[in-house]
A and B are shown apart, each in its own frame.
Chain A
Amino acid sequence: MGEEALIRVQNLSKSFGGVKATKDVSFEIKRGEILGVIGPNGSGKTTLVNLITGFVKPDSGNVYFGNKKITGLDPAKIADLGIVRTFQIVRPYHSLPAYKNLIVPLNSPRIKRTRGGKSGDRDAVAIDILEEIGFERDAFVPYKIASTLPLGYLKRLELARCLALKPEVILCDEVFSGLSSSEITSLVPVIEKLQMEGITILMIEHRLRELFRLVTRVVVLAFGEKLTEGTPEEVVANEKVREAYLGTEVDEAEEAEAC
Chain B
Amino acid sequence: MATTEDTRQERLDRGIKVRTEGIYALTSWREMGYLLAPRAFLIFGLLLLPLLVDSYWQRVLCIAGVYALLALSFDFLAEYVGLVCLGGAFFVGCGGYTAGLLNHYLGWSPFFTIPIATVIGAVISTLTLLPCLRLRGVYFAIVSFMFPLLTVNIVVALNIFGGTEGISALATLPNIWFDQYLIFAVVIVALFVMRRLVNEDIGLIFRSIKDNDQAVRASGISITLYKTKAVFVASLMGCFGGAYLSHQYGWLGISLFAMDFSILPIAATVMGGAGTLVGPVLGAFMLTPLSEALRGFGQLRVVLYCLILMGFIVYKPEGIMNYLQRKYHQFEHWKEV
Q: Report B216 CB to chain A, min CB distance, Å.
A: 6
Q: How far apart sit A85 and B22, CA to CA, in the bound complex (Å)?
A: 29
- Closest Cβ neighbor of B223 among chain A residues: A76
Q: How far apart sit A110 and B20, CA to CA, in the bound complex (Å)?
A: 29
Counting contact residues on chain B (CB < 8 A from A), the size range is: 20 to 34
- Contacting residue for B201 out of A75, A76, A103, A148, CB 8 A: A103
With A76-B217, A91-B215 given, is the CB distance from A104 to B223 under 8 Å?
A: no
Is B138 among interface residues, defined by CB-CB distance under 8 A?
no
Chain B residues within 8 Å of A80, by CB? 220
Q: List 28 A-B contacts (CB under 8 A).
A: A55-B217, A74-B217, A75-B217, A76-B217, A76-B220, A76-B223, A79-B217, A79-B218, A80-B220, A85-B218, A87-B215, A87-B218, A91-B215, A93-B208, A93-B212, A97-B20, A97-B22, A103-B201, A104-B205, A104-B208, A104-B215, A104-B216, A105-B219, A105-B221, A107-B202, A119-B200, A161-B219, A165-B219
Q: How far apart sit A80 and B222, CA to CA, in the bound complex (Å)?
A: 10
Q: How far apart sit A8 and B261, CA to CA, in the bound complex (Å)?
A: 54
With A93-B204, A97-B22, A103-B201 given, is the CB distance from A109 to B220 under 8 Å?
A: yes
Residue interface bits A77-105, CB-to-B below 8 A is 1, else 0: 10110001101000101101100100111
Q: Is the CB of B19 within 8 A of A148?
A: yes
Q: Which of A100-156 contact B (CB under 8 A)?
A: 100, 103-105, 107-110, 119, 122, 143-145, 148
Q: How far apart sit A235 and B217, CA to CA, in the bound complex (Å)?
A: 35
With A104-B208, A104-B216, A144-B19 given, is the CB distance from A122 to B221 under 8 Å?
A: no
Residue from B20, B202, B205, B212 whose CB has the most chain A CB atoms within 10 Å: B212
User: A interface vs B, CB < 8 Å?
Assistant: 53, 55, 74-77, 79-80, 84-85, 87, 91, 93-94, 96-97, 100, 103-105, 107-110, 119, 122, 143-145, 148, 161, 164-165
Q: Is the CB of A91 within 8 A of B212?
A: yes
Residue from B207, B208, B217, B219 whose CB has the most chain A CB atoms within 10 Å: B219
Q: Report B237 CB to chain A, min CB distance, Å.
A: 24
Q: Is the CB of B215 within 8 A of A161?
A: yes
- Closest Cβ neighbor of B217 among chain A residues: A75
Is B54 among interface residues, defined by CB-CB distance under 8 A?
no
Q: Report B9 CB to chain A, min CB distance, Å.
A: 20
The 7 closest A-B pairs by CB, nearest first: A79-B220, A108-B220, A105-B219, A75-B217, A80-B220, A91-B212, A76-B222
Q: Which of B191-242 contact A (CB under 8 A)?
A: 200-202, 204-205, 207-208, 211-212, 214-223
